[in-house]
Amino acid sequence: MTSVQSEDNSSLIYGDDFDDDDESIDLYESQTTATCSMGDTACHKLNSLVSQESEFDFDEDQFSGNESDDELLVDPMTLSKKALDDDKGGSSLKYECLTTQDILDRMLKRVHHLQPVFSIPSEDILVLMQRYDWNEERLLEEWTEKMDELLVEAGINTSNPGDKLNITMRGIKHRSDFNCFICCEVRSTETFSLECGHEYCIECYRRYISDRLNEGNVITCMDCALALKNEDIDAIMGTPSSARLMDSSIKSFIQKHNRNYKWCPYADCKCIIHLNDTSYLQEYTRLHCSRFVTCKFSHIFCFGCGYGMHAPADCNVTMAWVKKARKESENLNWVLSHTKECPKCSVNIEKNGGCNHMVCSSCKYEFCWICSGEWGPHGRSFFQCTMYKNDDEKQKASVENSKKALKRYTFYYRVFNEHEVSAKLDWKLGQTVGQKVKAMQEKMGVSWIEGQFLAESLQILNEGRTVLKWSFAVAFYSDASHNLTKIFVDNQMLLSNAVEQLSELLQIKNPETTMKRKSEFYNKAGYVRNRTRALIECGRDLLRKCICKPVD
Amino acid sequence: MSKVPRNFRLLEELEKGEKGLGPESCSYGLADSDDITMTNWNGTILGPPHSNHENRIYSVSIECGPNYPDEPPKIKFVSKVNVPCVDSTTGEVKSSVFHTLRDWKRAYTMETLLLDLRKEMATPANKKLPQPKEGATF
Amino acid sequence: MASLPKRIIKETERLVSDPVPGITAEPHEDNLRYFQVTIEGPQQSPYENGVFNLELFLPDDYPMEAPKVRFLTKIYHPNIDKLGRICLDVLKTNWSPALQIRTVLLSVQALLASPNPNDPLANDVAEDWIKDEEGAIKTAREWTEAYASKKDQKSTN
C-alpha cells in the first residue's frame, strides 16, 4: 500500500511497517529448560506421546523385523535414521504443545524480566514488545541504539509528569456539553484522552477499539501515534477486553514464526506445537517421511505441511493431492452427499457410522458404501473394491484421454472422500465410547483400565482409516503397471478389510456383548495396527523408488 | 442501513468473485476487465447433481444496467439449456417467469441469481428434462 | 433511510463552505452518503491540466470504517487499476476515524503527484513505470489529455 504525505497531513497516522521476515529468534530458547511452564506431568506426557508417534510412523526398521542397532549401522539409511530417531536424537526433536495463553504468559515473564533493563513501566515494555512482534533481541538492539526515537515511534508518552502545562491527564473524564470531533455530537458524556489531549467521547472510543481488538496491533490514539496501554483499553471498554488484543497479537506472532510454531489443524483445537529446531525437517523430506506431532488432545498432524496425519503420502503427494482436489472442485461438482440410494430398493440411506458395510433398513440388502456392490465378497480377502477397474478401456479404445483421467481421478477422490467421512463418523462414534466404558464400569464392575481397550481400538481404527484414506492419494500418483503398486493395492485391500471389521465391532451397542468379545477387539485392533504399518512402509517404498510421483 | 450505490455494490461483488469467496457451484467475473462501468459479466453454473445437468458447466452472460441493484440484471444463457424459464431461442432468462427476477430485491446479488437458477434446474419438475447436446450454444 | 449522522452533515457543510483548492465533492441528492468528486491533476505531474472524476461513498460504519473511493475517469497510474480502484494506505489499514473526506481526497491528490510503482495495484502500469519511467510519464500525459481534459469534462457532464 502506498503512503503519501498530503498537505493536510497532521492527522495521518504513521504506519507500523515492521517487516519481520528475518530469522525468527526464539525468545526463550535459553529459558525453556529452566522454567518449563507446563509442569512435569505434562512434559512427561508429551514425551510419551512423542515416542508413541515415532513408533507409528518412521521407525524404518520396525516392520522389516526388529534388527538391533548394530545391524542398522550397515544400512545406508543409518545416519539419517539416527538423526530422525526421537529416542536417541536428543533435544532437537523435542516439541511442546502450547496455547496462546501459555505463550503470552512466557512473554509477560520476559517483560517482567526485562523491566530493569528498560526502567520504564512494564505496560510500556509490553507495548514495545508488541511493536517488535515479540522479538526481544531486535528490540534490545534498537533500544541501545536509539532509545528516545524508539519511544516516540512506539507511541510511548515521554513527557515529563512534572511539566503540567502541556500535558492532559491520561484517562476517563466526565464532561458536560462535550463536542466530540469524531461523531460531532454535543452532549454530556464520559470522554477519554491520552497525554496528547486528543479527547473523544467514550462511545466513539469504544467503537474504535472494538474494531481493532482482533487485528493484533498496538492501538493508538485516533489522531496521533501515542499508544493505548492494556489498562486504558480495559478502562474504556469497561471489561477486560485487552485480553482479546493480546490473544490476537500472539496469533500474529505465531503467523510470523510459522516455521517453528504450527496450529493444530483440527477443527476447534487451539493447540500450538512449538518445534525449536527445524533444521532436520529437510532430512525428513528427503526420506519421504513426515514429522508427525501430536497435540494435547491426541490430534496427529504433520509439522512439515500443517495438514493432518497423511501417511503413507509424503508432504509433496499431500500438497499435490489437496491442490488438485481444490482445482477440480472448482471445475466440477464433487458434492458427495452423505445419503445414497439403496442399490436394490432405492430407499434413501444415511450413513451414520464409519463402517462401510451397509444394511438397508428397508429391504435388508447388504452392500458396500464405497462401490455400491453386494457386501458378500467384501469380507473375504480376495475382493478388491479398493482398486479402480478400467473397464472402459477395452470397450472403447478411443475414449478421450482427459475424460479417462478425470474419471480415474473421480474414482480416487471419491474413495478418499468416503474414508474421510467414515473417519469423521468413527470419531463421533468414539465420543460415545467413553460413555460405554462408564456404563460397563457401573453395570458390570469393569475397572477403568480394563475398559481402555475400547479407546485404544478406536485410536487404532482412526489411524488405520486415515492411512487408508491417504493411501488413495499415493495410489493415484503411482504407476499402476508397476509390481510394487500392485502390492500396494493388495495392502490397501487388506487394511481396508481389517478396518471395516474393527469398525463393525465398535458399533456394538450392548456393553455385555462388548466385554464378551474383548479378545476379538484385541485381535482385530492388533491386526489393523500391523496392516497400517505395512501400508505406510509400502507407500514409502513407492515414493522412494519414484514409482509414486506427484504431478501438477 | 444506507444504500450502497451501484458501483460500490458491484465492486463488492467483483471482489467476492475474484477472491473465490462464493460457493463452488457458481462463479462470475467481469466480461471486460477494462470496463469502468462494470456492465457486462460472465457467469458459470455447475449443473446440479442427480439431474440431467450433472457434471455440465453452463455459461451465462449478465448485464447490470445503470439502475442495478434497484432493478434486476438481464441474464442470458450462452450454453444451450432446456428449462422452462429460459427462452428456447435466445437463451434469455424470462423475468416474467423466473421468480428471482420477478420478485427482485435490492439485497439480491448476481450470486443469488446464479444459485437460484441452479436450484431451478434441480427442481423435480426440471431435473429430468431432456437436455441439448453438451457444448451447444444459443 | 436512517437519518444522517451529524459527523457527515458537518463534513459536507464544510466541504461546501470551505472547499479544498482543486477538489470538489458534492453529495448526490438521493443518497447523501454518496459523493461526486473531481480532483485536478497536481501541477508538475503528468496529470497536470486534467480533471478527474471520482466517486466516494461513506459506508454505514463511517467514520470507524474508511470511505470508499474510486476513479471514474480513466487514468494511467501504477497505484490505480483499470477499474479506478486506488491502493492507498489511508483508505485501508491506516484509516483513522480522525481523518476526513477532505484529508482522504488530499491524499489521493498527493498520490497523483507521487506515484509509487514499487507498491503497485496496476501491475502492468507499474512494470512500465519501473522499466521506462519517461515513457510511462508520457503515456500518463497522453491519457490525461485524452480522457481528463477540462473541455471534455464539460461536454460529458
Query: Is residue A269 one of the residues assigned to a domain?
Result: no
Q: Three-class SS of residue C42? A: coil
Residue of C8, C20, C87, C113 marked catalytic = C87
d(CA A331, nearest CA chain B) in Å: 8
For testing the chain C interface, which of B1, B6, B7 should be mutated: the one with the most C CBs within 10 Å? Answer: B7
Interchain CB contact of C74 with B (< 8 Å)? yes
Interchain CB contacts (distance < 8 Å): A and B: 18
Which domain does A144 fall in, by range? Answer: 105-259
For testing the chain C interface, which of B2, B30, B33, B106 should be mutated: the one with the most C CBs within 10 Å? Answer: B2
Q: What is the pLDDT of residue A328?
A: 67
Interchain CB contacts (distance < 8 Å): B and C: 41
Question: In this structure, are A382 and A453 located in the same domain?
Answer: yes
Interchain CB contact of A1 with B (< 8 Å)? no
d(CA A340, nearest CA chain B) in Å: 11
Question: In this structure, are A390 and A478 located in the same domain?
Answer: yes
Interchain CB contacts (distance < 8 Å): A and C: 79
Query: Is residue B90 one of the residues assigned to a domain?
Result: yes
Q: Which residue has the cell 454535543?
A: A186
For testing the chain A interface, which of C62, C103, C105 should be mutated: the one with the most A CBs within 10 Å? Answer: C103
Distance CA B88, CA A232 (A): 67
Q: What is the pLDDT of residue C59?
A: 95
The chains in contact with chain B, meaning 3 or more Cβ pairs closer than 8 Å, are A, C
Q: Which residue has the cell 481396508?
A: A496
Residue A156, CA distances (Å) to A34, A123, C54 in order: 32, 10, 39
Count of helices and strands (H, E) across chain C? 5, 4
Q: Kindly report, residue by residue over B46-63, the tens digit of the pLDDT.
A: 888 888 998 788 999 999
Q: What is the pLDDT of residue A350?
A: 55
Query: Is residue B67 one of the residues assigned to a domain?
Result: yes
Nearest to A185 by CA among A194, A195, A175, A170: A175
**Does the pLDDT of residue A414 top 90, yes or no?**
no
| Cβ-defined contact of B3 to C31 (cutoff 8 Å) | yes
The CATH number of residue A480's host domain is 1.20.120.1750
Q: Kindly report, residue by residue over A188-202, the tens digit of the pLDDT.
A: 999 999 988 899 999
Residue of A342, A355, A371, A385 marked catalytic = A355
Contacts of C24 (CB under 8 A, 6+ apart): C37, C38
Q: Kindly report, residue by residue over A355-372, the tens digit of the pLDDT.
A: 666 766 666 677 766 666
Instruction: Give B-chain residues touching A337 at CB under 8 angstroms.
Output: 49
A-proximal residues of B, 8-27, CB under 8 Å: 20, 24-25, 27
Beta strand residue intervals within C62-127, DSSP E: 68-71
Distance CA A448, CA A1 (A): 60
Distance CA C136, CA A73 (A): 66
| Cβ-defined contact of A183 to C7 (cutoff 8 Å) | yes
Tally the domains of chain A: 2
Partner-chain residue, chosen from B20, B46, B48, that has the shortest CB–CB distance to A332: B46
Contacts of A99 (CB under 8 A, 6+ apart): A270, A271, A272
Q: If interface means Cβ-Cβ distance under 8 Å, which residues of chain A face chain C?
A: 1-9, 11-13, 15, 181-185, 198, 204, 207-208, 211, 222-223
Distance CA A170, CA A187 (A): 21
Q: Three-class SS of residue A136? A: helix
- How many residues are there in chain B? 138
Query: Is residue B132 one of the residues assigned to a domain?
Result: no
Range A430-464 burial, b when 16+ CB lie within 10 A, else e: beebeebbebbeeeeebeeeebebbeebbbbbbbb
Question: In this structure, are A238 and A353 located in the same domain?
Answer: no
Q: What is the pLDDT of residue A243?
A: 93
The CATH number of residue B54's host domain is 3.10.110.10
**Assigned architecture for domain C6-148:** Roll (3.10)
**Does the pLDDT of residue A59 top 90, yes or no?**
no
| Cβ-defined contact of A184 to C110 (cutoff 8 Å) | no
When pLDDT is cut at 50, 70 and 90, the band that residue A415 belongs to is confident
Question: In this structure, are A515 and A397 located in the same domain?
Answer: yes
Interchain CB contact of A402 with B (< 8 Å)? no
What is the DSSP secondary structure assignment for residue A377, as one 8-state letter? G
| Cβ-defined contact of C70 to B11 (cutoff 8 Å) | yes
Question: In this structure, are A535 and A449 located in the same domain?
Answer: yes
Q: Kindly report, residue by residue over A303-325, the tens digit of the pLDDT.
A: 888 888 898 998 888 988 888 87
Helix axes A483-506, A401-444, angle to 10 degrees: 30
| Cis omega (within 30 of 0) for bond into C67 | no
When pLDDT is cut at 50, 70 and 90, the band that residue A376 belongs to is low
Contacts of B61 (CB under 8 A, 6+ apart): B31, B40, B41, B42, B43, B75, B76, B78
Interchain CB contact of B47 with A (< 8 Å)? yes
Specify the pTM.
0.67
Question: In this structure, are A333 and A238 located in the same domain?
Answer: no
* % residues pLDDT > 90 (chain B): 61
Q: Three-class SS of residue A43? A: helix
Query: Is residue B133 one of the residues assigned to a domain?
Result: no
Pairing of strands C23-28, C68-71: unpaired
User: Is the Cβ–Cβ distance between A495 and A535 less than 8 Å?
Assistant: yes
Q: What is the pLDDT of residue B2?
A: 79
* % residues pLDDT > 70 (chain A): 67
Residue C109, CA distances (Å) to A82, A284, A549, C25, C102 in order: 64, 54, 54, 13, 11
| Average pLDDT over every residue of A231-235 | 94
Q: What is the pLDDT of residue A199?
A: 94
Q: List the alpha helices (DSSP H) in chain B.
A: 6-18, 99-102, 110-122
- C80 forms beta bridges with C77, C86
Task: Calculate the dihedral angle through the C-alpha atoms of A538, A542, A545, A546, rounding to the nearest 10 degrees.
Answer: -170
Distance CA A90, CA A118 (A): 36
Q: Give chain B's residues under pLDDT 50.
A: none
Find which of A45-54, A81-90, A512-521, C32-41 is predicted with most confidence, using mean pLDDT.
C32-41
d(CA B42, nearest CA chain A) in Å: 15
Distance CA A321, CA A552 (A): 9
Contacts of A17 (CB under 8 A, 6+ apart): none
- A292 forms beta bridges with A302
d(CA C6, nearest CA chain A) in Å: 6
Partner-chain residue, chosen from C94, C102, C114, that has the shortest CB–CB distance to A8: C102
Q: Which amino acid is at A55?
A: E
Q: Which amino acid is at B109?
A: T
Q: How far is residue A192 CA from its own chain's centroid?
A: 41
| Cβ-defined contact of B11 to C57 (cutoff 8 Å) | no
| Cβ-defined contact of B4 to C74 (cutoff 8 Å) | no
Q: What is the pLDDT of residue B8?
A: 96
| Average pLDDT over every residue of A201-214 | 94
Distance CA A539, CA A140 (A): 49
d(CA B28, nearest CA chain C) in Å: 17
When pLDDT is cut at 50, 70 and 90, the band that residue A133 belongs to is confident
When pLDDT is cut at 50, 70 and 90, the band that residue A238 belongs to is very high
Instruction: Label residue A481 exposed, middle or buried (CB < 10 Å: 0-12, 13-18, 19+).
Output: exposed
Pairing of strands B74-77, B57-63: antiparallel
User: Is the Cβ–Cβ distance between A503 and A426 less than 8 Å?
Assistant: yes
d(CA C150, nearest CA chain B) in Å: 20
User: Is A305 known to be catalytic?
Assistant: no
Q: Kindly report, residue by residue over A211-221, the tens digit of the pLDDT.
A: 899 988 999 99
Which domain does B30 fall in, by range? Answer: 6-121
Task: Write down the mean pLDDT value for chain A.
Answer: 74
Nearest to B95 by CA among B109, B113, B107: B113
Q: Kindly report, residue by residue over A5-20, the tens digit of the pLDDT.
A: 444 444 333 333 333 4
Q: Kindly report, residue by residue over C94-104, the tens digit of the pLDDT.
A: 899 999 999 99
Tally the domains of chain B: 1
Query: Is residue B134 one of the residues assigned to a domain?
Result: no
Residue A278, CA distances (Å) to A20, A44, A258, A271, C9 in order: 19, 22, 11, 19, 58
Partner-chain residue, chosen from B5, B11, B34, that has the shortest CB–CB distance to C31: B5
Question: In this structure, are A355 and A493 located in the same domain?
Answer: yes
Partner-chain residue, chosen from C6, C65, C111, that has the shortest CB–CB distance to A184: C6
User: Is the Cβ–Cβ distance between B3 and C51 less than 8 Å?
Assistant: no
Q: Give chain C's residues under pLDDT 70.
A: 1-2, 151-157
Q: How far is residue A378 CA from its own chain's centroid?
A: 35
Interchain CB contact of C114 with A (< 8 Å)? yes
Partner-chain residue, chosen from A330, A332, A337, that has the shortest CB–CB distance to B55: A332
